[in-house]
Amino acid sequence: MRSHVTSASIGLFLALAAVPAVAEPLSGPEIKDRIGGELVRLSTPYGLTLPLIYRDDGVVSGDLSGFSIGAMLAPREEGRWWVKDDRLCQKWPSWYDGRTHCFTITSLGPDKIAWTRDDGLSGTAEMGR
């Protein structure tokens, strides 16, 4: 009987260990460490992957020149990024009509994040050069 209880306990422990932890949003310092100095390839709900470079000095640059949509917008632009209240915020001169948007960032592994914009739009992004 004791070996059955021990086997069941070990089986339950292994089953619980295999359940992934719920991903928590990154804190402000974690966002700065994770995003600053990185190339972020943002997967958008529109089927585009937008390359953004988040420099350590608070400048973010984007380049749409390789996409047909780039002809309708400023194809390249530099904006500002910062962290406020554990959210990544950014503002572009003309993209998004110059409005500030803030994002909750969640880690999905060493090279991937999930983002949720303050208006509910969400997606994922690959990290690295």
Which pLDDT belongs to residue 22? 66
CATH of the domain at 65: 2.40.128.640
pLDDT band at 10 (very low <50, low <70, confident <90, very high): very low
Question: Is 11 contained in some domain?
Answer: no
DSSP assignment string, the chain:
-HHHHHHHHHHHHHHHHHSPPPPPBPPHHHHHHHHTTEEEEEEPTTS-EEEEEE-TTSEEEEE-TTSGGGGTS-SEEEEEEEEETTEEEEE-SSGGGG-EEEEEEEE-STTEEEEEETTS-EEEEEE--
pLDDT > 70: percent of the chain = 76
Domains: count for the chain: 1
Choose between 23 and 85: higher pLDDT.
85
Which pLDDT belongs to residue 75? 75
Which pLDDT belongs to residue 64? 77
50-102 residue pLDDT tens:
899 999 999 999 987 765 454 455 678 999 999 999 999 999 999 889 999 99
pLDDT band at 119 (very low <50, low <70, confident <90, very high): very high
Question: Is 31 contained in some domain?
Answer: yes
Question: Is 91 contained in some domain?
Answer: yes
The pLDDT of 30-50, averaged and rounded, is 90
Domain encompassing residue 107: 23-127
Mean pLDDT, rounded, of the chain: 82
Question: Is 121 contained in some domain?
Answer: yes
| pTM score, whole prediction | 0.75
